[in-house]
């Protein structure tokens, strides 16, 4: 392991995170649409956070100054990706801590009391933002003058949503796009950070590919922000919800999430852009270069299956929601089902309805969609649609070989042959996700006190399982006490740290985090 190179790159990443906080500073002023006085706590908390981040980044870069021209191998690339996200999550927590951001907790007799967020809370919120999970410990985000409600400065809310946007396409992808002379190390960084199996279209000229993907990401984000403003959102709300939508994150500026706006137009617009964000961004790159928009997308097997699963789930949910609740009109059922199926499958986590009140079939279907996720190379989480396609093909081939042991049949996807190494990776990934899910579920049951469930162990089992699924797959809301109208504030600090690790594992496709726990990984070459 080249420690000097690792320090230098982490230092530059820390400086990038610190510099990104500057965009949140203007929102502390009334001139930016804020009602009320200048938010001194948020402003000076952000300034202190910027100073700390730049100081840490400068120190690390100075330590590694002699490694400027050192080659970056796969080991260093994985360490930079894994530690880079941990560092970003830690630095991103500083604004919450230094600004005095508040939340609530249960006081004597179960009465909620206002408290400042602690270290575990701030780290949880920051990592949830960067990993585009959207799980929150903030119980009240809308500004009001009631002293009994928590205070969250508007500039801190902007930073909270901005972490989504930075983490959506990836802070390391942005890092690759900005820095030159990374060579093969840049490709290794991109491969370690981009969610899902890496498409062939982004392999050559890695810096150019990273810049193109970020340019597409920015362009679609600007389009969505403009549309939301036209539909009645303020500039602040439109930007924050654009960050959450395009990053498939889920942080909102309303306590009732997107449902707080009560607009069919806004719901529909966000659904369209959530689907776009859950699509492989390599397809946008390819469509633009070949100037064949529809042919490029619908020729892709993963994209077609992605839309088919989404459409089938939506129709099934709408029918069940309507027939299980006679007071809900067919149109309202379709609207709510479309939004929630899209928000869960793309791992965005926004809500327009309390789906935890739906029947068991609907809740179970949403829980399954949490594991599916978006397309490879998208900003969505989950296992990715392409892996399910490949897994189904692998299982079918193995079953056929049980009665035709001598058959040699190539496994293909969109005209590309999948070799045995790739098949092995898919099976291992499924097994690892299942193993991590089960172990984390059992561990959460052990370390988390059972007071919120008041002895109802059956609810505790399902709720904790949904919390693990929601964080490992970067969804945000789960079921029961973790549902769309609830939050994660009541969890013990150790539970928040566990779920924060799961968010990182899910966002970085397991291996960039798992290797950090292998002693041999840190030995010299």
Is pLDDT at 152 greater than 80 in this prediction? yes
The share of the chain scoring above pLDDT 70, in percent, equals 87
Query: Are the C-beta atoms of residues 125 and 160 closer than 8 Å to each other?
Result: yes
| Backbone φ, ψ for residue 411 (5° rounding) | -100, 120
Local confidence band at 194 (pLDDT 50, 70, 90 cut-offs): low
Beta bridge partners of 115: 103
Rounded alpha-carbon distances, angstroms, from residue 208 to 76, 144, 177: 21, 46, 7
Is pLDDT at 129 greater than 90 in this prediction? yes
- Token pair, residue 28, equals 């502390």
Residues 110-128 have a mean pLDDT of 89
Is pLDDT at 357 greater than 70 in this prediction? yes
Query: If you write DSSP's letter for every residue of 348-404 in order, what string do you get?
Result: ----SS-GGGS-HHHHHHHHHHHHH-S-TTSS--SS-HHHHHHHHHHHHHHHHHHH-
Local confidence band at 199 (pLDDT 50, 70, 90 cut-offs): very low
Lowest mean pLDDT among 35-49, 115-129, 259-273, 289-303: 289-303
pLDDT for the residue numbered 239:
95
Local confidence band at 204 (pLDDT 50, 70, 90 cut-offs): very low
Is pLDDT at 153 greater than 60 in this prediction? yes
Report the distance separating Cα 442 and Cα 468, nearest Å.
10
Coil, strand, or helix at residue 38?
Answer: coil
Instruction: Specify which of 160-174, 190-204, 245-259 reaches the highest per-range mean pLDDT.
Output: 245-259
pLDDT for the residue numbered 193:
55
Local confidence band at 7 (pLDDT 50, 70, 90 cut-offs): very high
| Alpha carbon 203 to its chain's center | 23
From the list 68, 12, 346, 15, the residue with the least C-alpha distance to 195 is 346
Local confidence band at 198 (pLDDT 50, 70, 90 cut-offs): very low
pLDDT for the residue numbered 200:
45
pLDDT for the residue numbered 473:
93
Average pLDDT in the chain? 86
Report the distance separating Cα 413 and Cα 384, nearest Å.
15
Q: Pick the more confident residue, 264 or 105.
A: 264
Question: For residues 122, 125, 129 and 132, what is the CA-based torsion angle, rounded to 10 degrees?
Answer: 150
pLDDT for the residue numbered 300:
86
pLDDT for the residue numbered 203:
45
pLDDT for the residue numbered 46:
96
Q: Pick the more confident residue, 172 or 104.
A: 104
């Amino acid at each position: 392991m080249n420690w000097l190179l690792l320090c230098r790159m982490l230092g530059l990443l820390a400086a990038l995170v610190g510099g990104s906080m500057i965009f949140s500073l203007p929102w502390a002023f009334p001139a930016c649409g804020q009602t009320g006085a200048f938010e001194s706590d948020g402003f000076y908390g952000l300034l202190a956070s910027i100073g700390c981040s730049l100081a840490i980044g400068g120190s690390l870069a100075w330590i590694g100054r002699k490694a400027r021209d050192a080659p970056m191998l796969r080991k260093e690339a994985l360490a930079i990706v894994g530690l880079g996200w941990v560092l970003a999550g830690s630095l991103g927590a500083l604004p919450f801590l230094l600004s005095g951001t508040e939340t609530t907790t249960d006081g004597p007799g179960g009465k909620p009391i206002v408290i400042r967020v602690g270290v575990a809370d701030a780290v949880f919120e920051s990592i949830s933002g960067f990993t585009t999970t959207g799980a929150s410990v903030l119980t009240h985000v809308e500004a009001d003058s009631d002293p009994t409600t928590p205070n969250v400065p508007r500039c801190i809310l902007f930073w909270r949503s901005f972490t989504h946007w930075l983490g959506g396409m990836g802070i390391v992808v942005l890092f690759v796009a900005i820095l030159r002379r990374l060579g093969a190390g840049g490709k290794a960084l991109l491969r370690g950070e981009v969610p899902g199996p890496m498409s062939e279209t982004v392999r050559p000229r890695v810096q150019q590919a990273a810049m193109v993907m970020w340019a597409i990401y920015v362009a679609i984000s600007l389009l969505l922000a403009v549309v939301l403003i036209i539909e009645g959102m303020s500039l602040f709300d439109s930007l924050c919800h654009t960050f959450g939508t395009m990053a498939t994150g889920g942080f909102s500026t309303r306590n009732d999430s997107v449902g707080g706006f009560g607009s069919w137009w806004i719901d529909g617009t966000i659904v369209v852009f959530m689907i776009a964000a859950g699509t492989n961004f390599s397809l946008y790159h390819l469509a633009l270069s070949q100037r064949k928009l529809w042919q490029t997308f619908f020729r892709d097997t993963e994209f077609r299956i992605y839309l088919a699963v989404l459409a089938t789930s939506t129709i099934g949910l709408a029918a069940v929601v309507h027939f299980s609740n006679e007071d809900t009109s067919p149109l309202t059922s379709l609207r709510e089902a479309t939004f929630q199926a899209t928000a869960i499958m793309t791992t965005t986590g926004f809500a327009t309805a309390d789906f935890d009140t739906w029947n068991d079939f609907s809740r179970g279907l949403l829980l399954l969609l949490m594991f599916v996720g978006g397309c490879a190379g998208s900003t969505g989480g989950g296992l990715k649609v392409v892996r399910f396609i490949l897994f189904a093909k692998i299982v079918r081939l193995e079953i056929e070989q049980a009665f035709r042991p001598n058959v040699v049949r190539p496994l293909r996807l969109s005209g590309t042959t999948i070799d045995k190494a790739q098949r092995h990776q898919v099976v291992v990934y499924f097994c690892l996700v299942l193993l991590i899910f089960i172990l984390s579920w059992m561990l959460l049951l052990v370390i988390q006190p059972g007071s919120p469930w008041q002895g109802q162990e059956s609810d505790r089992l399902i709720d904790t399982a949904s919390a693990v699924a929601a964080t490992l797959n970067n969804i945000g809301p789960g079921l029961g006490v973790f549902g769309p109208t609830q939050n994660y504030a009541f969890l013990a600090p150790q539970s928040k740290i566990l779920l924060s690790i799961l968010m990182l594992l899910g966002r970085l496709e397991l291996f960039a985090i798992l290797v950090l726990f292998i002693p041999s990984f840190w030995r010299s070459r």
